[in-house]
Structure 1
Amino acid sequence: MEKLSGLSHLFMTVFLYNFSTFMVIPAITDVTMSALCPGEDECSLAIYLTGIQQAIIGLGTLVMMPLIGNLSDTYGRKAMLTIPMSLTIIPLVILAYSRERYYFYAYYALKTLTAMVCEGSVHCIALAYVADNVPENRRASVFGILSGISSSAFVCGNLSTRFLSTPSTFQASASGAVIATIYMRIFLPDSIGDGGVSTGRNSKEATNVPLLDEHKGSRNNVRVFKTMPSFDDSISLLRSSLTFSQAAAVAFFSNLGEVGLHAGLMYYLKACFHFNKDQFADLMVIMGIAGTISQMLLMPMLAPVIGEEKLLSIGLFFSCAHMLFYSIAWSSWVPYGAAVFSLLAVFAHPCLRSIASKQVGPSEQGKAQGCISGLCSFGNVLSPLVFSPLTALFLSANAPFHFPGFSIACAGFAVMVAFVQSVMIRAAHPNSSSKVSSCDCEEP
């Protein structure tokens, strides 16, 4: 009962957080364009700045995700959730106050800095929280429900944007981020330590170490540095299981493609079909509803029957297909049709995370999810460097040939590589109690 209560509060925390952050997505393109290139439908400067921002954020999260995952194993999921959820509020407040050019630049700088810690952190820690409290045979379904909660927040956030003015959108987003943080601090029990939900570890392993202790400050500092992952730690984890290394490769290539899609899609639709905030919101609502239905209803039924390995391949296949449909859109209705492919494309990430979580022990869930998130972040670094110049080039008058969606098609081919790799995964599920980290093996 205690575990169910913890999971319900986690789901509400994730919903509130994602609701507040997703609702600004349809509006941010118009804000960026009006600040940098007022009155224009095509702006290479906006595309390049967005790409640079994504690359810098990816470089930061490449370092921070494994670190945050490791620290959450030691200090508790709740303590580490507080950091990104609090930092998320700062840039939203700036655009809630004003969207003029200089305020946009301030937002851009602070968003870049804070997102190095925030981007993906809440989802990463939430996955580790679920793995703490859910047995392996039910993990894929609950990961799917967690993703479904995020998709439902995506729908609600974009629906609210559809009926709010741009200033009100950012004000509501900033208020929602504050509410989400307060709710998490008050109601969410920690899944590590005496005060939280039991994880099934022995009492020595489960002891929650406070981040701040006036009497043991230097000792805690030593422990913090001991928990910082090194490059060798990540290599050891990748070598610990063929299945884990395959899942890591799938994570990298799928994220490479998805970031490439999101980096150019809105600018592509605005240049080709003159989409605005409301049409972006409509498109995202369709994607969100399809994803919510799939993850909340279909995935819990299908995962036990056909297995998460096959569901992973199905999700990646349809993810690739919907990118290719976007790239060849010949009319303004085609993107809406392509968005329906999200019904099956959303299977990929929950299945991937579940496969990875089963390859490590109960005391390494944060480390494993952080490693996968770190590799996704590596994709975040490379993707804008490749796809943003392609997007800008093929939307300009200097394109070598007429194919405005060329960069999105290339993103689809990156996901196709992930699909081919996923077909080769034959996940072994060893007993969790027998899995230990390389560090544990070296201890006397």
Structure 2
Amino acid sequence: MTDAATPSTTPSGGRQAGFGFIFALALMNAVSFGIMIPILPQLVRELAGGDTAAASEWTVVFAVTWGIMQFFCGPLLGMLSDRIGRRPVLLLSLFGLALDFLFMAFAPTLWWLLLGRILNGATAASFSTASAYLADVTPPERRAKVFGWMGSAFSFGFIMGPTIGGFLGQGDLRVPFLAAAGLTAVNWLYGFFVLPESLPPEKRATSFDWGRANPVGSLRLLRSRMGLLPLAGVGFLFQFAHTVLPTVFVLYTTYRYHWDSRTLGLTFLLTGVLGVIVSMFLVGPTVARIGERRTLLLGLAATAFGFAWYGWADTGWLYLLGAPVFALSGFIMPGLQGLMTRRVQPHEQGQLQGANQSLMGIGSILGPALFGEAFARALRGGHPPGLPIYLASGLLVAALSLAFAAARAPASAPQPAE
């Protein structure tokens, strides 16, 4: 058996080409999604006949629909990548994303937008399959650092995306979606012609197990390894809590601090730059110095404190002072992924990521409902406006408690699941 860090099917230099593609994939995906941030709500409102309340309701429908599709399809795509390889699934995911952007560009009604969300939710496995790809080509001791680099790609994308979207959308709201579709198509072409496969045939799953290619069946893998299910719980709580920001950030900061679009844009820029610094320059040295477990615990503690600070801050300047601490949330996923990928074999990496993606789908369903309702109740009932952010902080405290017991490196190599 060959080392997972150097797949037998990868030609000389293929490992570097593979990481370059994965980094570009993460960057282009983040830019593409960032382009939508200032534009999609306006398009939804336009298709809703200018009714802001209806646009808000449709936005929730889109988010919940996407989460449901992820919940059911994430394990299936993860298992598929273990059986036929990462490359075909990545190409399928990029194809679905490009089609979704085209639906947004040409949709005549909200129902067409919803169809695009269904298609994207069913095929969206680019990040989870990319994580499995990186686990294939990276030694266990270097995975946390590499996952940190992946995080920096997303930070770069969210710095550039909203700026590009705002600029392109000034004349026509549809143009940014065409640009996003073009970026995704370029990435698909690069993957089709250049990307080497990371999982050689001898390391693939020998069959496609329908019993595990579903949300319930995927839990069997999480239960089959010591500490894997609690670690998945840590990831779920973090992703669940993190949905508070896209759900209430704009409403919260404009209500409490009276921020305008310019201030919001500068805040996105600040948090993006801080995210890049943490992911590119701090994750690797921190993991090397204190290990994956302590890096994860540090990230969880900092994020819990950062959320609590955001909820407490009664001025915009105080809010921004908490941003450097909250940026340490960039430690969480690299440390967590490093620990989780050590616990499974090469032919199970896709299944692991699919199970994680299914849990993320649950978070994207529950998060907007919980935090949106909490913010509404806070304003109507005289409670602190930071109530939903305090709830997010509480979820991170629970994740920290869970991680203390579960986040330990396995003592031996993983054994096949029964």
TM-score (norm 2): 0.86
> Aligned partners of 2:231, 2:66: CA distance in 1, in Å?
23
Pick the aligned partner of 2:187 from 180, 186, 208.
180
For 2:4, the equivalent position in structure 1 comes to: none
Task: Give the Å deviation of 1:118.
Answer: 4.4
Aligned to 1:249, which of 217, 222, 233? 233
Which residue of structure 1 aligns with residue 7 of structure 2?
none
Q: For residues 117 and 373 of structure 2, what CA distance do their matches in structure 1 show?
A: 19
Tell me what 2:85 maps to.
76
Q: Which moved more, 1:272-281 or 1:241-250?
A: 272-281
Unaligned 5+ segments in structure 1 are 194-202, 210-222, 439-444
Instruction: Report how far residue 73 of structure 1 moved.
Output: 0.7
- Out of 412-421 and 106-115, give the one that drifted further: 106-115
Report if the CA contact (8 A) 1:70-1:366 is conserved.
yes
Q: Choose which of 130, 133, 142 in structure 2 pairs with 1:129.
A: 133
Contact 2:300 2:400 in 1 (8 A): yes
1:20 equivalenced with 2:32 (yes/no): yes
The residue correspondences of 1:26-425 to structure 2 (distance < 5 A) are 26-32=38-44, 36=48, 38=50, 45-97=54-106, 103=109, 105-106=110-111, 108-119=113-124, 121-161=125-165, 163-166=167-170, 167=173, 168-193=175-200, 204-206=202-204, 224=208, 226=210, 229-230=213-214, 233-273=217-257, 275=259, 277-395=261-379, 399-425=380-406
Q: Secondary structure of 1:412's match?
A: helix
Q: Displacement of 1:300 after TM fit?
A: 0.8
User: Which residue number corresponds to residue 219 of structure 1?
Assistant: none
Q: 1:86 to 1:275 in 2, by over 3 A?
A: farther
Preserved CA contact (<8 Å) 1:246 1:422: yes
Task: Quote how far apart the aligned CAs of 1:162 are.
Answer: 5.2
Residue type at the aligned position of 2:37: I
Change (3 A) 1:400 1:64: same
The 1:44/1:351 distance shift into structure 2, 3 A limit, reads farther
Structure 2 stretches of 5 or more lacking a match? 1-12
1:10 aligns with 2:22: yes
Q: Which 10-residue stretch deviates more, 174-183 or 26-35?
A: 26-35
Alpha-carbon spacing, 1:311–1:359, altered in 2? closer, same or farther (3 Å) = same
Q: Could you tell which deviates more after superposition, 131-140 or 256-265?
A: 256-265
CA distance in 2, matches of 1:48, 1:392: 14
Structure 1 residues 67, 351: CA separation in 2 closer, same or farther (over 3 Å shift)?
Answer: same
**Greater Cα shift, 174-183 or 269-278:** 269-278
Greater CA deviation, 48-57 or 58-67? 48-57
Residue pair 1:85, 1:181 contacting (<8 A) in 2 also: yes
Using the alignment, how far apart are the partners of 2:118 and 2:214 within structure 1? Answer: 22
Q: Distance in 2 between matches of 1:328 and 1:27?
A: 30
Residue 375 of structure 1 deviates from its aligned partner by 1.7
Q: What is the rounded CA distance, in whole Å, between the counterparts of 2:223 and 2:33 in structure 1?
A: 36
- 8 Å Cα contact 2:79-2:208 kept in structure 1: no
Aligned-partner residue type, residue 57 of structure 1? W
1:67-108 deviation line (CA, Å, top 9, x unaligned):
11110011111110122211212332344458xxx54x1454
How many equivalent pairs are there?
A: 403
Q: Considering only aligned residues, what root-mean-square deviation do their CA atoms show, in Å?
A: 2.7
- Output the TM-score relative to the length of structure 1: 0.82
Which whole-Å deviations, capped at 9, do the CAs of 1:314-344 have from their partners, x for residues lacking one? Answer: 1122222232333334334444444333431
Q: Deviations over 1:191-236 (max 9, x none)?
A: 124xxxxxxxxx54449x9xxxxxxxxxxxxx55647525664333
**What is the distance in 1 between the residues matched to 2:35 and 2:29?**
10
- Displacement of 1:243: 1.8
**Code of the aligned partner of 1:127:** S
Describe the shift of the 1:48–1:382 C-alpha distance in structure 2 as closer, same or farther (beyond 3 A).
same
State the distance in 1 between where 2:149 and 2:320 align: 24
Query: What is the CA–CA distance in structure 2 between the aligned matches of 1:205 and 1:299, rounded to whole Å?
Result: 29
Partners of 1:401 and 1:140 lie apart in 2 by 43
SS for the counterpart of 1:189 is: coil
- Residues 391-420 of structure 1: CA distance to partner in whole angstroms, max 9, x if unpaired? 33434xxx1114333222212211221122
Give the letter for the 1:424 counterpart. Answer: A
Residue 217 of structure 1 corresponds to none
Work out whether residues 353 and 369 of structure 1, in 8 Å CA contact, stay in contact via their aligned partners in 2.
no
CA contact (8 A) 2:100 2:120 kept: no
Distance 1:329-1:91 versus aligned 2 partners, 3 A rule: farther
C-alpha spacing 1:85/1:428, structure 2 compared with 1 (3 Å): same
Distance in structure 2 (CA, Å) of the matches to 1:174 and 1:279: 28
Q: Is the 8 A contact 1:161 1:281 kept in 2?
A: no
Q: Does 1:437 align with 2:386?
A: no
Q: CA offset at residue 273 of structure 1?
A: 4.4
